[in-house]
Amino acid sequence: MGTTRNLGINETKQDRIFNTCAYIYLVFCCLVIIYPLYFIVIASLSSPEHVLAGQVFLWPKGLNLAGYERILHYRPIWTGYRNSLFYSVVGAVLSTTFTLFAAYPLSRSDFSGRKAFTVFLLIAMFFQGGLIPQYILVNALNLRNTYWVLILLSGIQVMNLFMASSYFKSTYIPSMYEAAEMDGCTHFGYFFRILLPISTPIVIVMLLFYGVWQWNDYFRALIYLDKEQYYPIQLVLKELLASNQVTGALFELLSEDQEAYTEMLKAAESMKYGIILIATLPMLLVYLFLQKFFIKGITLGSVKE
């Protein structure tokens, strides 16, 4: 948009109109994305009376930290936080390791089974066995209600596998491999000593992609976990909000003490936004400080063979 100015070319009236409309549209998109996050922050700091009355819009009203005090003493949240960190870190490391190991042979044109495995992976990516067979398999392997069900199940994502394979193809230098082979270097030696040190970007991208995916994963935990000691933070948040809604509805129907019911709603409201903020804060920080790697990860998949 500012290219014409940098080149010393005078902008036409149509250019100025287009630039103005583009800026207005971008500002609008930013507001649509940022305001919900901002509202969660100010609502978590506001008095629940003002939040329930819909009076919180731009600034916190009736500064209140009671919700955070309740969160600090609510043990399931911190258990879920610990579990989510475990799932994200261990799952990201293992999934990245498996993905890179599988991507290397697929990136080699001299691998005899390359086309067959590629076709098989494409079929598996678009046509899966279904939830019920997968559930039966997980149950038969005694993986339900274990820490490993969320780490090992779908440990490799085919799209990430192809992305890593494309990167390895783009960094493959025949003369470098031939020199390493002449020095007695095997495929394992070439992979660990030469290829990985020059593939730091794809390693970081895979770790970030798998880590964020594990942190935000909710559906698999809902299906395969029914013991609170294994719940990730997303499932803890869901259970807390659902229990508050059900309890509140029953209390409203069965109780005549409206004052007690109102106090219970205020307590639940004061905790809700604080828990949402705590659950999303780690990933917001990851995106904030490591966004260049996410952008690089998106462009890596566009490398042409």
Q: Which of 3-12, 71-80, 151-160, 194-203 has the lowest mean pLDDT?
A: 3-12
Reported confidence tier of residue 297, pLDDT bands at 50, 70, 90: low
Model pLDDT, residue 294:
67
Reported confidence tier of residue 126, pLDDT bands at 50, 70, 90: confident
Looking at every residue in the chain, the average pLDDT score rounds to: 79
Contact 53, 72 (CB under 8 A): no
Model pLDDT, residue 99:
92
Do 34 and 137 fall into the same domain? no
Q: Count of domains in the chain? A: 2
Reported confidence tier of residue 94, pLDDT bands at 50, 70, 90: very high
For residues 202 and 196, give the distance between their C-alpha atoms in angstroms, rounded to a whole number. Answer: 9
273 found inside a domain? no
Q: Please name which of 232, 207, 226 lies closest in space to residue 286, comparing C-alpha atoms.
A: 207
* CATH number of the domain within which 90 lies: 1.10.3720.10
Token representation of residue 95:
């999934």
Do 140 and 20 fall into the same domain? no
pLDDT tens digits, one per residue of 129-151: 778 888 888 889 888 888 898 88
For residues 223 and 220, give the distance between their C-alpha atoms in angstroms, rounded to a whole number. Answer: 5
Q: Which amino acid is at 244?
A: N
Do 100 and 198 fall into the same domain? yes
Sign of the dihedral defined by the CA atoms of residues 30, 32, 35, 37, in that order = negative
Range of the domain at 57: 1-64
- Identify the top-confidence range among 79-93, 121-135, 164-178: 79-93
92 found inside a domain? yes
Do 145 and 291 fall into the same domain? yes
Point out the domain boundary residue: 64, 81, 99.
Answer: 64
Do 38 and 78 fall into the same domain? no
Do 121 and 29 fall into the same domain? no
Point out the domain boundary residue: 64, 82, 112.
Answer: 64
